[in-house]
Every structure is written in C-alpha cells, then in structure tokens.
Amino acid sequence: MKKMFSVLFVLLVLFTILVDQPAADIKKGDFAKVPEWTWITIMNPDGIKDGSNSNPASQFFNFGDSAGIESVGFVIVLGFHKDQVLVEYERHGTPSGTQCPHGAIFFLEKKVFAEWKAGKLAKIQNEENALKELVRKILKDK
C-alpha cells in the first residue's frame, strides 16, 4: 500500500511538471493573440487614457479599473511575478464596449498566457498546413 502511494505521488509530480511545461517556456517579449473578450484589471501605475488627448470622449482608466480586451488584440509579456505574467495589450481593429486602451498593462496567469500562445501557434500551423496542401494539389494537377 505504501509503495502504491509512493508511485502515485511520483506520477502526480511528473504530471504536474509536464502539464506546466509550456508556462515555464514563457519569456519576456513573447506575445499571444487574445482569443475572446476578457475582463482585465488595469495595472498602469499612473492610469492610462483611451485615445488621444484631442478626443473629448476619451476615457481615463485608473490603476485598478476594469476594462475588456477583445480578440482584435495581442498581449506581450513584460515580466513575471509568481504564477503570473505582466503583459501589455496591443489593440488592433475597431473595439466595442468598454474599450481597453492600447498600452494597458495587467496580469495574466502563466497558464492562461501559455494557452493563448499555444492557440496562436496552432492557428498558424493549421494555416501553414492548409497552404502546403493547396500547393501540393496545384502541383499534382499540373
């Protein structure tokens, strides 16, 4: 019985290490596409304004305010704290709702960032594979 618990413990430790491996590979400068609308908490120490100073409708976000990020944006890793990554949001396209400002910084769990990053890589690989297949088909029909 004791040996069985020891084996289970070792397997649990190995599983935890293997599952968390992608999170361990995260480096400063890594980026990931935001997969869906997500609420975040602004961490810019001095706050951040959405839009230009000439736009009177621009909204100011204080440290600790909530905003939504959309799938039209990307996040870039700035640093780390325990099981979290500090990221900066790059907004692309036309957002809707409570617009998270371009340049907003906030924390994400390492695991979440790793999942977002893996999704980006999987999409690129799928697109590349589809393009390869198209080229093969065209060459075959030649």
Using one digit for the tens of pLDDT, what is the confidence trace for 99-110? 788 899 999 999
Specify if 1 maps to a domain. no
Specify if 99 maps to a domain. yes
**What domain range is 122 assigned to?**
27-140
Tokens of 102: 């371009």
Q: What per-residue confidence (pLDDT) applies to 8? A: 42
Q: What per-residue confidence (pLDDT) applies to 14? A: 39
Domain total for the chain? 1
pLDDT digits (tens, 9 = 90+) for 117-128: 888 656 666 777
Q: What per-residue confidence (pLDDT) applies to 59? A: 83
Q: What per-residue confidence (pLDDT) applies to 12? A: 42
Query: Can you tell me the distance from the alpha carbon of 69 to that of 97, in angstroms, rounded to the nearest whole number?
Result: 9
Q: What per-residue confidence (pLDDT) applies to 54? A: 53
11 to 1, 105, 141: CA distances (angstroms) = 15, 37, 51
Specify if 46 maps to a domain. yes
Query: Can you tell me the distance from the alpha carbon of 101 to that of 94, in angstroms, rounded to the nearest whole number?
Result: 12
Q: What per-residue confidence (pLDDT) applies to 21? A: 45
Q: Is the pLDDT of residue 132 over 90?
A: no
Specify if 19 maps to a domain. no
Tokens of 73: 């944006």
Q: Is the pLDDT of residue 116 over 50?
A: yes
Q: Could you tell me which of 74, 15, 68 has the C-alpha nearest to residue 7?
A: 15
| Rg for the chain, CA atoms, rounded | 21
Specify if 82 maps to a domain. yes
Q: Could you tell me which of 49, 87, 82, 78 has the C-alpha nearest to residue 65?
A: 49
Instruction: Name the one residue in this structure whose structure tokens are 């980026």.
Output: 31
3-state SS assignment for residue 142: coil
Specify if 15 maps to a domain. no
Q: Could you tell me which of 50, 99, 106 has the C-alpha nearest to residue 78?
A: 106
Q: What per-residue confidence (pLDDT) applies to 95? A: 59
pTM: 0.65
Specify if 33 maps to a domain. yes
Query: pLDDT class for 39, splitting at 50, 70, 90?
Result: very high
Specify if 126 maps to a domain. yes
